Amino acid sequence: MGFYRISKPCIAALIATIAIGYGSAEAEPLRGGDAFITAMQGNTLSGKAADGTQFKVFFLPGGGVTLQRNSREPEHGKWSADQAGDICVMWDKGVPADEGCFRIDLSGSKVTWSNKDLNHSGGLLGGVFPLDMKKAK
């Protein structure tokens, strides 16, 4: 059995091919509360609103959700799964944020949430970042 000499460009092309294969994984729908909270637990969802505002969202098991825009004070609400498996978010009174029921899809660390009125995307940060969390009442 002989050894083959592989050039650096060939190795780079092989690595790029493997990376593209992993990166093009189809989005997995997160249907229902259990699948959703398993994906979100220990993660912070991060993104940018249409107006350029940076945001972080943290979902708690049991239905609590916290939103922080830029460096403003955290705002709170509740989440639940509807009969179709969509995730429904309702913010406390006075919180100017999108609410309603959304289809959630996960592809690697990219999360998309959409309904008939809007389509957003963000990413999971891979950890819990400081927010003023409180549990749903």
Tens of pLDDT along 74-110?
999 999 999 999 999 999 998 888 899 999 999 999 9
Q: What is the pLDDT of residue 50?
A: 82
Count Cα neighbours of 133 within 13 Å in the Cβ-side half-sphere: 16
Q: What is the pLDDT of residue 49?
A: 85
With residue 11 as reference, give the H or E element that holds it. helix 8-23
Q: What is the pLDDT of residue 24?
A: 44
Nearest to 72 by CA among 104, 43, 95: 95
Q: What is the pLDDT of residue 2?
A: 44
Quick one: CA dihedral 103, 53, 48, 70, positive or negative?
Answer: negative
Residues contacting 78, CB < 8 A, separation 6+:
63, 64, 65, 89, 90, 136
Q: pTM of whole model > 0.85?
A: no
Q: What is the pLDDT of residue 31?
A: 87
Query: What percent of the chain shows pLDDT beyond 70?
Result: 75
Q: What is the pLDDT of residue 130?
A: 59
Indicate if the pLDDT at residue 19 is higher than 50. Answer: no
String of DSSP letters for 94-111: T--S--EEEEEEEETTEE
Q: Which domains does the chain carry? A: 28-124 (2.40.128.640)
CB atoms within 10 A of CB 89: 19
Nearest to 54 by CA among 75, 72, 79: 72
